A and B are shown apart, each in its own frame.
Chain A
Amino acid sequence: MSTRRIVLNLLLIGILASLPAVIKKDSIINLALLVLLYVSLASSWNILGGFAGQTNLGHAAFFGLGALLTRFLWLGGWPLIPSLLAGGCVAVLFSLLIGIPAFRLRGVYFAIGTLALAQVLYIVVGNTLSDISSLPSEYLATYQLAPRYYLVLGLAILTTGTAYVLRKSRRGLGIMAVREQEDAAESLGVSALKHKLLALSISAFLAGLTGGAFAFYHVGYYPQLPFAPEFTFDAVMMTYIGGVGTVVGPVIGAVFFVVVREILALKVADMHLIVFGVLFILIVLFLPGGLVDAWSKVRRALARRAGPGKFDASPHQKGD
């Protein structure tokens, strides 16, 4: 990271951290919280789906399990942080339990298999825990938005930071090598299964934590809700719209997703999902790099028009 980038990132975090102090409107803080929650959700999906190239359609299971256990322990009297960690760990445990058989499946079978598994959990939780989970009055009396906001902000920084570090690390390179060419990676001594399981457990852990934050944030919801397939599909869409396999892609995708959804919801209810569906398909078909890639293409085109600048000099830039 260049010094300029570091400064910009710190500035951004600073602005986000000062939001609750500056803005007194709860609706705006709620919106920012939602964006950050989705940043975490999408970034955590991206680690397995983007870096490792395993299209996981059962992400909601990790999110839901984290929410379920965190809520249970926290309402049972545990302090928040241990409850959250327990939620993350149960998601990892579950992911490893299913990872070993699931990774025997390739491509489409892995995707459908994970989807089926998440649906099983969704239905079973809906059947066994059918009562709404509401905060007891002593928790409600002390409910404050700011701590929730800071928790989710911290989580968004954690997931994005993890993705950044992972991408640069030896393990991360191994994970991406497995995505590009599994057999070639194996022949160079990179164990495909080990790297996929690593990506899976990191992804599951972060998703579990995010689920825990969801459980801490919401006043009342049906325990089945965080297991709903929508959470998986939203995460997939945000990641692809932003740019799959990149660090900033899910962040941009999440911001774009929530903001556009809010704007559309004001004008035409329910339309936003149709718009996102169309946009998502267009991006998969015509712009596989997402918004991040589109932006760098625009920048390069502008630089080229401005005359033979430093961009044209490097042969690296010319190919694309």
Chain B
Amino acid sequence: MLEPLVQNLVFGVLVGALYGLAAVGLSLVFGVTKILNVAHGELLMFGGYASFWAVTLLGIDPFLSIIPAVIFLAVIGFILYKLVFSRLVKLDESVKIQNTLLVGFGLSLILQNIALRLWSADTRGITTFYSGWAVTTFGIRFPIVRVASLVIALVTLLALELFLRRTYTGKALRATVENWEAATLMGIDTQRVYMLAFVMGASLAAIAGTLVSVGYSIDPAMGLNWTLTSLIVMVLGGLGSIIGTFVGGIVLGVTQSATGFFLSQSYREVVGLVLFLLVLVLRPQGLFGAKER
């Protein structure tokens, strides 16, 4: 009884790290631009396919494929921002929220169907010669691909944290989150900051997507689920804290695993959604700090 349970929770932690990474990208964009990009899950899916392409066509190592995937998604993010989202950031708060939601859904539809045409509806995953390797201690298996993914997620988030705390650009980003008017008065080009935040969000989605395609599997319809997962984690972890979001991801991963273990695998996602609804109802504005009225 105990061993399978612990094994389950370990898997929960491992997948939770990816939830956290996915959510940080969404939360960064939302925090800086006040755009809730509901196509975030589709960007993640594109990241997964980009690395799938890089691995199958170029024959490089899946973990190395993070680099082309990030470049690919950064370009997509840049184009999407310039074409679509840059028109929305200037709008009034209430109109902006509604229009970004609608545009995001339109976008997720487009991306999902492009993926269907490009890569078909099949579920795909990246397998390498070391995919099956695992370290076993006390009867608990640690698949090395997933453990490496957790490490990469952690390193990425630490690097992001350092970037936001130590560099001028990072501080400009945080200043824009605090008060964009004051930031503009201090000579920060907020339009560029918005663009940068969006591109970074897409790049983070690319890393998460790569790790998902290596350790798990991807398909064109996965986007909505990942968007919802990221939203849940964002609400759980609280806006503005990278570490908090990461912990939120792990909490969700472990909760899902426990549900899968005690209840049924098919209710894994329901638990996250119910948790999310409870938080929303009990704290109407979500757990996202005090900025909203």
Interface residues of A (CB under 8 A from B): 55, 57, 101-102, 104-109, 111-113, 115-117, 119-120, 123-124, 126-127, 229, 233, 236-237, 240, 270-271, 273-274, 276-278, 280-281, 284-285
Residues A236 and B102 in contact in the complex (CB < 8 Å), given A109-B280, A115-B228: yes
Contact between chains at A113 and B280 (CB < 8 Å) = yes
Residues A277 and B107 in contact in the complex (CB < 8 Å), given A112-B231, A119-B228: yes
Contact residue among B84, B107, B232, B277 (Cβ-Cβ distance under 8 Å from A117): B277
Fill in one digit per residue for B52-96: 1 if any A CB lies within 8 Å of its CB, else 0.
Answer: 000000000000000000000000000000001001100000100
List 4 additional A-B contacts (Cβ < 8 Å) besides A127-B267, A274-B113: A116-B231, A123-B267, A123-B269, A127-B266
Contact residue among A106, A108, A281 (Cβ-Cβ distance under 8 Å from B106): A281
- Give complex CA distance A233, B105 in Å: 8
Contact between chains at A120 and B274 (CB < 8 Å) = yes
- Give complex CA distance A237, B101 in Å: 12
- Give complex CA distance A236, B113 in Å: 18
B contact residues around A229 at 8 Å (CB): 224
**Stretch from B7-15, B17-25, B253-261, B281-289 contacting the other chain:** B281-289
Contact between chains at B109 and A273 (CB < 8 Å) = yes
Contact residue among A108, A116, A119 (Cβ-Cβ distance under 8 Å from B101): A108
Interface residues of B in 132-190 (CB under 8 A from A): none
Contact between chains at A119 and B106 (CB < 8 Å) = no
- Give complex CA distance A101, B285 in Å: 12
Interface residue B116 (Cβ < 8 Å from any Cβ of A): yes
B contact residues around A55 at 8 Å (CB): 98, 101-102
Task: Please list 13 pairs of residues, one from A and one from B, whose beta carbons are closer than 8 Å in the complex, sorted by A's number.
Answer: A102-B281, A106-B284, A107-B94, A107-B98, A109-B284, A109-B286, A120-B274, A123-B273, A127-B264, A271-B113, A271-B117, A274-B113, A277-B107
Contact between chains at A124 and B270 (CB < 8 Å) = yes
Contact between chains at A120 and B101 (CB < 8 Å) = no
B contact residues around A271 at 8 Å (CB): 113, 117
Interface residue B97 (Cβ < 8 Å from any Cβ of A): yes
Residues A108 and B97 in contact in the complex (CB < 8 Å), given A117-B277, A127-B266, A274-B113: yes
A contact residues around B5 at 8 Å (CB): none
- Give complex CA distance A177, B113 in Å: 38
B contact residues around A124 at 8 Å (CB): 267, 270
Min CB distance, A51 to chain B, in Å?
Answer: 14
| 6 interchain residue pairs of minimum CB distance | A277-B110, A277-B109, A281-B106, A280-B106, A101-B281, A104-B284
A contact residues around B49 at 8 Å (CB): none
Residues A236 and B105 in contact in the complex (CB < 8 Å), given A108-B97, A229-B224: yes
Interface residue B36 (Cβ < 8 Å from any Cβ of A): yes
Contact between chains at B276 and A108 (CB < 8 Å) = no
B contact residues around A236 at 8 Å (CB): 102, 105
**Residue from the set A102, A107, A240 with the largest chain B CB neighbour count within 10 Å:** A107
Contact between chains at A285 and B99 (CB < 8 Å) = yes
Residues A116 and B228 in contact in the complex (CB < 8 Å), given A109-B286, A111-B101: yes
Min CB distance, B88 to chain A, in Å?
Answer: 8
A contact residues around B105 at 8 Å (CB): 57, 233, 236
Fill in one digit per residue for B191-227: 1 if any A CB lies within 8 Å of its CB, else 0.
Answer: 0000000000000000000000000000000001000
Min CB distance, B222 to chain A, in Å?
Answer: 13
- Give complex CA distance A270, B97 in Å: 29
A contact residues around B99 at 8 Å (CB): 284-285
Contact between chains at B264 and A274 (CB < 8 Å) = no
Residue of A nearest to B88 (CB): A285
Interface residues of B in 223-269 (CB under 8 A from A): 224, 228, 231-232, 264, 266-267, 269
Contact between chains at B109 and A276 (CB < 8 Å) = yes
- Give complex CA distance A126, B270 in Å: 12
Min CB distance, B105 to chain A, in Å?
Answer: 6
Contact between chains at A270 and B281 (CB < 8 Å) = no
- Give complex CA distance A119, B267 in Å: 12
Min CB distance, B225 to chain A, in Å?
Answer: 8
Contact between chains at A285 and B98 (CB < 8 Å) = no
- Give complex CA distance A233, B112 in Å: 14
Contact between chains at B280 and A284 (CB < 8 Å) = no
Contact between chains at B103 and A119 (CB < 8 Å) = no
Min CB distance, B126 to chain A, in Å?
Answer: 25
A contact residues around B231 at 8 Å (CB): 112, 116
- Give complex CA distance A194, B110 in Å: 37
- Give complex CA distance A270, B114 in Å: 9
Contact between chains at B277 and A116 (CB < 8 Å) = yes
Contact between chains at B284 and A105 (CB < 8 Å) = yes
Min CB distance, A281 to chain B, in Å?
Answer: 4
Residues A104 and B281 in contact in the complex (CB < 8 Å), given A116-B273, A127-B266, A285-B99: yes
- Give complex CA distance A284, B94 in Å: 14
- Give complex CA distance A116, B272 in Å: 9
Contact between chains at B102 and A284 (CB < 8 Å) = yes
B contact residues around A280 at 8 Å (CB): 102, 106, 109
- Give complex CA distance A229, B225 in Å: 11
